[in-house]
Amino acid sequence: MWEEPTGRHCEECGQEKKPRKLEFVIEKKSPSAIDQVREFVSNTIGSSAADGSETGESETVHKEKIFYLCPDLSCDGREGDIRTMERWRMKTDPSREFSEEKLDGIVAESVEKDKMGDRVLRENAEEVYQDMVEQEEGDSTNANDE
């Protein structure tokens, strides 16, 4: 599949960076006047949520941003790109507590997952290729039998 050049290159290795979209949803509880009245009514009249939990309005906010990552999994520039992406996520999502220690852990885990995913893809690619070759050989044998 052809991808349009991004024009962004890694400062470490010089390879062209690839876009990655980061998306998440933030749920915000918004207490309003109606919620306060609802609490009073449920206490006095007895109409509350079936499970006994608080009733209230919640608002969801969809956040997304495109980041450009170095495609070389062994490049230090990729780790920096992931750090930038995760720092944005931590600072944008109020439910996440921001700390450099947490950020270090998230980045290390993300880099490790990328490397593991790449290894699995490479291993499976060989198996898939072998299956395709065997299927092709089987198809040509069946065509000769007819």
CA distances from 2 to 10, 22, 119 (A): 20, 22, 23
The pair of three-digit structure tokens given for residue 93, joined into one six-digit string:
């999502």
pLDDT at 35: 53
Confidence of residue 32 (pLDDT cuts 50, 70, 90): low
Confidence of residue 30 (pLDDT cuts 50, 70, 90): low
CA distances from 60 to 53, 56, 57, 124, 141 (A): 19, 13, 10, 38, 58
> Domain range holding 73?
18-145
pLDDT at 70: 93
The Cα diameter of the chain in Å comes to 84
Pairwise CA distance, residues 37 & 72, whole Å: 57
Residue 9 lies in a domain: no
Residue 37 lies in a domain: yes
Does the pLDDT value for residue 47 go beyond 60? no
Residue 8 lies in a domain: no
**Residue 1 burial (10 A CB sphere; 0-12, 13-18, 19+):** exposed
Confidence of residue 57 (pLDDT cuts 50, 70, 90): low
Confidence of residue 59 (pLDDT cuts 50, 70, 90): confident
pTM score, whole prediction: 0.59
What's the number of domains the chain is made of? 1
